[in-house]
Amino acid sequence: MPELADPKPLCAFRRVRAVAWWGMTTYSSNAGSGASRSSYTLLGLEAEAEPIAPGLHVVATPIGNLRDISLRALSTLSAADLILAEDTRVTKVLLAHYGITTPLMAYHEHNAAEMRPKIMERLARGQALALVSDAGTPLVSDPGYKLVESVVAEGLSVTPIPGASAVLTALVVAGLPTDRFFFEGFLPSKTTARKERLQVLSVIPGTLVFFESPHRLVDMLNDAHATLGPRPAAVARELTKYFETVRRGTLPELAALYGSENKPKGEIVVLIGPPQEDAFVIDESDLDARLRQHLSHLSVKDAVDVTVQETGQPRRQIYARAVALAREGGNQDG
């Protein structure tokens, strides 16, 4: 078979633009700026970005591995008039990797109130803006929802560009039930407030998902054990990155494991299994016997912690009974 003269890469990216998905209507990128057509680079080839509609485009970006981004996200970031970034330094790394030159503007919790009116003015003029977070899907533990709320209130367009999410990435590898889950974000940093919040979450019939910082991980696992009992759990660290690790076990096992090591580094997601339908059931007389035994040499707080760990019963129920027994016995040391 004869060789082709002047062979070309077998790729539709070069000088080819697909028909826009919204039909025959077309929109101009960088309206009024006089800029040339937008493009991005992928696999060494230059791709022409499809024009996007005016409005706010909420764009998911990778949580670690830069290859975990969709073609639609790249095209949107390239075609936008402006990218609103949580940290422009972080987003510049992604844009540089794919040869995207769209201007950046910082939008984060510290300047959100000041910047929102300026952003709304741009949207009212018919610009197409892209909103990104440092990693993953925007609006998850960041101030983006307030901007979306404002855009919706003005009757302007909001378009989701789905992609990576640390919550879902961790959930599918945890080995815990996925039919129901509840994302809490970060728990309070102080033990008392953390336990109180965990107690509220204890009755949710689904897997609990948390973000956690490395220096609080062990304390969080211990408090979860004391409040929720020995539930199955998983700790996912540095997902999609070189040092990705997922450890599974019960809460006390994981607390002991991380407590015996140097503090981990990186981004951490903690997942805790739901209450077990076939959990150990204890009658009132057995519960009272256990509590009296522990109260004979422990404070109310410690007796409750031990009993929760032994039985896996709700902390609130055990605490109320422990207080009543302590009063009867004259021991009210909390």
pLDDT, tens digit (0-9, with 9 covering 90-100), for 103-127: 999 999 999 999 999 999 999 999 9
Residue 57 phi, psi dihedral angles, 5° rounding: -115, 115
Q: Which of 267, 216, 275 is nearest to 246 (CA)?
A: 267
pLDDT band for position 311 (cuts 50, 70, 90): confident
> What's the rounded Cα separation, in Å, for the pair 323 and 56?
54
The highest-confidence range among 26-35, 53-62, 222-231, by mean pLDDT, is 53-62
**Percentage of the chain modeled with pLDDT above 90:** 69
Span of 32-46, 89-103, 240-254 with lowest mean pLDDT: 32-46
Task: Determine how many CB atoms are found less than 10 A away from the CB of residue 134.
Answer: 17
Residues in the chain: 334
CB 174 within 8 A of CB 207: yes
How buried is 237 (Cβ within 10 angstroms: 0-12 exposed, 13-18 middle, 19+ buried)?
buried
132 pairs with which residues across the strands? 85
Cβ neighbors of 64 (< 8 A, separation 6 or more) are: 135, 238, 239, 240, 241, 244, 267
What pLDDT shows up at residue 28? 38
Helix crossing, 191-201 with 217-228: angle to 10°?
50
Nearest CA to 221 out of 240, 194, 199, 243 is that of 194
b/e per residue 199-213 (b: at least 16 CB within 10 A): eebbeeebbbbbbbe
pLDDT above 90: residue 16: no
pLDDT at 202 over 50: yes
Which pLDDT score is estimated for 315?
80
Which pLDDT score is estimated for 90? 96
Average pLDDT, rounded, for the chain? 86
State pLDDT tens for residues 144-157: 899 999 999 999 99
Categorize the per-residue pLDDT at 1 as very low, low, confident or very high, splitting at 50, 70 and 90. Answer: very low
pLDDT recorded at residue 285: 81
pLDDT of residue 326: 87
pLDDT tens profile 132-141: 999 999 988 7
30 falls in which pLDDT band (50, 70, 90)?
A: very low
**Which residue is listed with tokens 């992609």?**
163
How confident is residue 26, by pLDDT bands cut at 50, 70 and 90? very low
Distance in angstroms (rounded) separating the CA atoms of residues 224 and 201: 10
Cβ-proximal residues to 315 (8 Å cutoff; 6+ apart), any chain: 195, 199, 202, 226, 227, 228, 304, 308
Q: pTM for the complete prediction?
A: 0.75
pLDDT at 83 over 70: yes
